[in-house]
Structures are given as C-alpha cells and as structure tokens.
Chains A and B, each alone.
Chain A
C-alpha cells in the first residue's frame, strides 16, 4: 500500500524558514517523480514543486521560485521542501504527492501557518 506521511509543519513568522519532510513507503520511491501541492484555507489546489527521480531536475511555479527548494533522499525514501523567506500567502496545507504525470497518491497533508 502506497503511503506518504508529511511532517514538519507549524507556525512560523514572516521571513523565516521551515522544512517539510515526506516519508514514502509501499512503492519504489526512486522510480517516481515526486511533488508538493498546497491548498490555502478554503481555497483550491496549487502545485508548488516537482523533482525528478534522481533529483537532478526540479521545477517550480513563479510564486515560489527562488524561495522554495525541493529535494529527495532515495536511500531514505524521503522527500523534502525547504521553504525560505516565507510570506503570509504561503499559509496552506502542504501535500506530498507521487507524480507519474498526474498526482496519483497524496499524503494526509501538513499545515503551515505564516503569521507574526
């Protein structure tokens, strides 16, 4: 059974940093692109970052480019999202997702609140 479990969320002040983690199990992690998708409270879904199988290629929308960094450790079947210079508009639930093309499995999500 595919499982994705996020951790690392919480309350953080504007301008500070936070790192999210996602522990994957139930599939061969190194064979899949992985992604982060977020959802602001009562809002829709926004893709945040994608990483290739080896980690050599990463992709970001303009809204987070230069502030967020996605990475992975295939030996640990883990995905990460380093978030720097956080803004109030980054407040959201962050989901880890497997991405063969579409997002076929999602974690339960972790809440990040950016507020002073």
Chain B
C-alpha cells in the first residue's frame, strides 16, 4: 500500500498569511493526488485534483503543486473561512489512501 505522510499535523497562521501543507507519498504517484478541505462539522470537499487542478468553485488563493512523491497545497492570503482540516489522497494505486490530515487554525 502507498503511505501518504502529511506535514505539519497542525498549523497556526494569521489572516492574510501564506500557508503551505506538504504531502509525501511512499512511492511515485504520477500526480494522481487530490486535496480535500473539511470544515468543522462538515463533510470533506474536493479542492485540488491531478496535483494542481482547481476543483469547480474553489477560490484561486488555493493552489497545488508537486510531482513524483512530493506534493504541496498552498493557501495565499489566508481567510477566516479557511480554518479547516486538509487531507491529501492518492489515486494512483489501489488501495486508495489518505494522508493523516493537517488542522489549520487562526493565530
């Protein structure tokens, strides 16, 4: 199974700041990576797919990058509504696996 390691596990940032979350795969996943946002009490929502494609309706301050085994999610100009947990997920190989998550809070 492909292991997905996210860092950091938690993060505190100020409004307007730029935030980066990392995700490392245990083997090459050829950009078959998605990012999800889960706000408190809600179900996850797709943010990014194919490592860098923005899902419909997602603000442009979110962006994804990376290749091979290393990927990142960047949030520019952090807004209060971005307080959430973020998860990466690989869909290159079955079984499909998620990272452990990053909890983003406001400083």
Contact = CB atoms under 8 A, between A and B. Distances in A.
Interface string A58-87: 010110000000000000000000000000
Q: Sort chain A's interface into a size bin.
A: 10 to 19
Given A44-B87, A45-B87, A102 B46 contact: yes
A60 to B, nearest CB: 8
Interface stretch (B14-22, B73-81, B91-99): B91-99
Contact of B97 (A47, A62, A102, A103): A47
Contact of A101 (B36, B91, B95, B98): B91
A107 B87 contact: no
Nearest to B94: A59
Central interface residue in B32, B46, B87, by most chain A CB within 10 Å: B46
Nearest to A107: B43
B100 interface: yes
A105 to B, nearest CB: 8
